[in-house]
């Protein structure tokens, strides 16, 4: 009898240890993904994809949640939070963070690419350009990991004063630019009076007259309802937006190796979503904002804008000490265009 009881106790102990191990394997990881803009937007499409796939492919072990509309703060604030591990991931515009990573400024060259397809090839998820920027992030020591880069739509200029069809029309406009010297140089070269401010301050600044012009992607313009306060849009398409997916190193290191590999795999798909959805949304939104919201969309003298802005490439690279990166971009563009 005693022997039978002992056997049962041993079996119970083994079973409980096994269940404890199973529970440990099923630990849940909660990730917060920050986005500055509101949906619909390519960034939200990419983030929603991550949420679904991480949940499905880890059997619910990774629960990610998206916080859009700058709920967790500006992109600069979120970057600082990621360094501390209090925010896990950021989906946004790469060049917004040049204050922390000056090399990102080279991604803001106006009229650098001849087509979206060329951009896609240069920004291949495992290609030389994206890999170089992964190294740059690692070398900063900030504790933020670059998972991928991709597109996000073309950038256009909007204002609440007049129709813009030529670079000369920009002169005198009070224009919001992101907090980076490249954007400031581009638009001041056309005579704009530039003011750097966070994305989430643009709407009220337009209402109060602090600014009367800004540039953005079509998706961001639509999602943030700027058609309410800036009904003149010039379809300049001066820059193909470079989007990024970042992750806190603290959050990254908490994940088991198999989940890190999964994130790397999904990041490659995110790169394509950025670019594909950016193009798709561009095509849809131009028609929608005209018909639904009465926005005046003008087709500018593109050749005049190219002539004005394209010669700035070398100067912009030199200002940021990014000559080597400009060479990498040019060499990669030449290689993929053969």
Q: Looking at the domain assignment, is residue 60 inside a domain? A: yes
At 117 the pLDDT is: 97
More confident residue, 241 or 180: 241
CA distance 47 to 295: 29
pLDDT, averaged across the chain: 93
Same domain, 145 and 65: yes
Residue 13 in domain: no
pLDDT at residue 10, rounded to an integer = 42
- Tell me the pLDDT tens digit for each residue of 55-99: 999 999 999 999 999 999 999 999 999 999 999 999 999 999 999
pLDDT given at position 270: 98
164: pLDDT strictly greater than 50 = yes
What was the pLDDT predicted at 15?
Answer: 46
Nearest to 211 by CA among 231, 183, 238, 230: 230
Asked if 127 and 202 sit in the same domain, the reply is no
In a domain, 41, yes or no: yes
Is the confidence at residue 23, as pLDDT, over 70?
no
What is the spatial distance between Cα 237 and Cα 192, in angstroms, rounded to a whole number? 18
Residues 32 and 53 reside in one and the same domain: yes
Q: What is the model's pLDDT at position 86?
A: 97
Position 145 scores a pLDDT of 99
Q: Is the pLDDT at 11 greater than 50, yes or no?
A: no
Question: Is 74 in the same domain as 190?
Answer: no
The domain total for the chain is 2
In a domain? residue 65:
yes
What pLDDT score does 16 carry?
47
Residues 46 and 116 in one domain: yes
Average the pLDDT over 284-295 and give the result.
96
Mean pLDDT of 189-216: 97
Instruction: Answer yes or no: is pLDDT of 6 > 80.
Output: no
Model confidence at 285: pLDDT above 60: yes
Instruction: Report the C-alpha gap between 154 and 235 in whole angstroms.
Output: 9
Confidence of residue 26 (pLDDT cuts 50, 70, 90): confident
Q: State whether 165 and 218 are in the same domain.
A: yes
Residue 124, in any domain of the structure: yes
Predicted TM-score (pTM) of this structure: 0.88
Instruction: Give the pLDDT confidence score for residue 25 in this predicted structure.
Output: 55
Structural domain range at position 168 = 154-241+285-329
3-state DSSP: the chain helix, strand, coil percent, rounded to 5? 55, 20, 25
Quote the tokens at residue 165: 């069809």
Q: State the pLDDT at residue 3.
A: 54
At 291, list the tokens: 């018909």
pLDDT-derived band at 154, boundaries 50, 70, 90: very high
Q: What is the pLDDT of residue 21?
A: 43
For the chain, give the percent of residues with pLDDT over 70.
93
Tell me, yes or no, whether 71 and 181 share the same domain.
no
Residue 74 lies in a domain: yes
Q: Does 228 share its domain with 297?
A: yes
Question: Are 57 and 175 within one domain?
Answer: no
Q: Is 39's pLDDT higher than 90?
A: yes
Q: Does residue 275 share a domain with residue 293? A: no
pLDDT of residue 267: 98
Between 59 and 23, residue with greater pLDDT: 59
Q: For the chain, report the end-to-end CA distance as a whole number of angstroms.
A: 83
Both 266 and 161 in a single domain? Answer: no
Domain of residue 179, CATH code? 3.40.190.170
Q: Is residue 337 part of a domain?
A: no
Percent of the chain with pLDDT over 90: 90
Q: Which of 310, 271, 278 is nearest to 130 (CA)?
A: 271
Q: In this structure, are 226 and 98 located in the same domain? A: no
Residue 194 falls inside a structural domain:
yes
């Amino acid at each position: 009898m005693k022997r039978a009881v002992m056997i049962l106790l041993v079996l119970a102990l083994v079973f409980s240890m096994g269940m404890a191990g199973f529970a440990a394997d099923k630990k849940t990881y909660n990730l917060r993904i920050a986005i500055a803009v509101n949906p619909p937007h390519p960034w939200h499409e990419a983030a929603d994809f991550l949420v679904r796939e991480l949940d499905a492919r880890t059997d619910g072990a990774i629960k990610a949640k998206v916080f859009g509309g700058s709920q967790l703060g500006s992109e600069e604030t979120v970057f600082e939070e990621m360094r501390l591990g209090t925010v896990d991931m950021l989906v946004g515009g790469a060049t917004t963070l040049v204050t922390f990573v000056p090399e990102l400024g080279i991604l803001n060259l106006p009229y650098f690419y001849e087509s979206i397809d060329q951009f896609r090839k240069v920004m291949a998820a495992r290609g030389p350009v994206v890999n170089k920027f992964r190294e740059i992030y690692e070398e900063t020591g900030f504790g933020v990991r670059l998972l991928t880069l991709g597109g996000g739509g073309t950038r256009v200029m909007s204002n609440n004063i007049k129709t813009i069809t030529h670079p000369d029309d920009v002169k005198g406009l009070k224009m919001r630019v992101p907090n980076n010297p490249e954007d400031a140089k581009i638009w001041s070269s056309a005579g704009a009076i530039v003011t750097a401010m966070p994305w989430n301050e643009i709407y009220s600044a337009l209402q109060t007259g602090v600014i009367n012009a800004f540039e953005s992607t079509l998706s961001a313009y639509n999602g943030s309802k700027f058609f309410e306060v800036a009904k003149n849009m010039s379809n300049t398409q001066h820059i193909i937006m470079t989007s990024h997916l970042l992750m806190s190193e603290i959050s990254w290191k908490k994940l088991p190796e198999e989940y890190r590999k999964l994130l790397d795999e999904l990041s490659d798909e995110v790169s394509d979503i950025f670019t594909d959805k950016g193009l798709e949304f561009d095509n849809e939104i131009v028609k929608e904002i005209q018909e639904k919201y009465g926005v005046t969309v003008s087709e500018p003298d593109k050749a005049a804008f190219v002539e004005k802005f394209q010669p700035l490439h070398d100067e912009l690279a030199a200002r940021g000490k990014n000559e080597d990166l400009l060479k990498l971009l040019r060499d990669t563009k030449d290689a993929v265009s053969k």
